[in-house]
Amino acid sequence: MVHAFLIHSLRAPHVEDVGFCRVLYSCVFGAEKSLDDPRPHSAERDRLLRKEQILAVARQAECMYQLQQQASGRSSTDLPPQSSSDEPVPLHEASHGAFRLAAGDPFREPRTVVWLGVLSLGFVLVLDTHENLLLAESTLRLLARLIFDHLRLLAPSANLLLRADRIEAILARFLPHGQLLFLNDQFVQGLEKELSAAWPL
């Protein structure tokens, strides 16, 4: 099962002075409470706990992205310029990876994180440790492509923060209730037609 999906900002290596990692969107499938915490739980405390957990994951994913960029000798200036919002997003060139989170850091149970860095955005899935990583990576690439296409993120006036409803609609179809789906091309095309009908490009 997928426990969380998030989109966060990415900074290039050696750019520590240009703001901090920001979570731009997150969706948590099921809440996690600490069984060892004797204090009464409230909706606000649970919300803050989830926010802290998601931010911790985003920071670790950004760190992995920066390390990979440094190791490959690439920087954000090496990426091909995106001159038009109609050009395809270079997902095949995107940095990607996976790492494990130990129990208690930051979730109560161990988790696996799959991440994808596209231009200045990071896309992340937080999974159970036994999930199929190849399926998770292909799902994450599909979600990233759909989000770029249907939110027109390459357009000059694009604002990810104002389009959470579209992201939720994409997740509801392609990651329902946090379940990874084996999707063939025909089924994906059918779901994409639904999205296009709901929100014409």
Token couple for 94? 């995107």
Q: Distance (Å, rounded) from C-alpha 146 to C-alpha 135?
A: 16
| CB distance 54 to 82 below 8 Å | no
CATH number of 141's domain: 3.30.450.60
Q: How many domains does the chain have?
A: 1
CA dihedral 129, 92, 27, 185 (to 10 degrees): -90
- pLDDT digit string, tens, across residues 83-136: 444 556 667 788 999 999 999 989 999 999 999 998 889 999 999 999 999 999
Q: Find how far residue 165's CA is from the centre of its chain.
A: 16
Which is it for the CA torsion 63, 119, 95, 163, positive or negative?
positive
Lowest mean pLDDT among 43-47, 95-99, 148-152, 160-164: 160-164
Token couple for 102? 């130990």
- pLDDT digit string, tens, across residues 19-56: 588 999 999 997 665 555 555 667 788 888 899 999 99
Listed as own residue / partner, the contacts of 188-195 with beta carbons closer than 8 Å and 24 or more positions apart are 188/142, 192/146, 195/146, 195/150, 195/169, 195/170
Provide the residue range defining the domain that includes 102: 2-82+89-198
Global pTM reads 0.83
Q: Distance (Å, rounded) from C-alpha 185 to C-alpha 182?
A: 10
